[in-house]
Amino acid sequence: MFATNMGSADRLFRAVLGVLLLAFALTGLPATGYNWLGWIGIVPLATAAIGWCPLYVPFGIRTCRSA
């Protein structure tokens, strides 16, 4: 459906970031009142899973090596 535009390092970084953000949301530690922002972690996890970032398209960015 979509051509992959993310490389392995980019995908790994997004996956780790997504997990950390979700952990922040689910554990509530530290209790800052802004833990709900951690649910944004779903976005980097989803883009890492499919290997396609919609924000890369208008700028012509590709971090993968394949053509």
- The three-class DSSP label of residue 18 is helix
Distance CA 24, CA 39 (A): 8
Sequence spans of domains, the chain: 8-59
Average pLDDT across the chain, whole number: 93
Decide if 41 contacts 19 (C-beta within 8 A).
yes
Q: Rounded to the nearest 10 degrees, what angle do helices 8-27 and 42-50 cross at?
A: 150
Residue 67 has pLDDT above 70, yes or no: no
Local confidence band at 30 (pLDDT 50, 70, 90 cut-offs) = confident
Decide if 28 contacts 35 (C-beta within 8 A).
yes
